[in-house]
Amino acid sequence: MEANKIVECGICYFQGVAKDFTPVTVSADFRALECPKCLNNDKESFAEIKKAEGKAA
């Protein structure tokens, strides 16, 4: 996952940039994301948020 993508935790619904989800706990899988708020590291529960891009007329 790219570091500048917006990601949402499926447990606490915290949203942030993917680089903010770097694992901090010792037992974490460093290939997976980890929520900085609730320490969830279940890779199946994270969702990538699509930015709504609108162009001014």
Rounded (10°) CA dihedral 40, 50, 6, 12: -30
- Per the document, the length of the chain is 57
pLDDT of 10 over the 90 cut? yes
CA 56 – CA 10 distance, rounded (Å): 33
Of 46 and 25, more confident: 46
Of the pLDDT bands very low, low, confident and very high (cuts 50, 70, 90), residue 1 is: low
Of 25 and 3, more confident: 25
Indicate the pTM of the whole model.
0.71
Determine the pLDDT at residue 36.
92
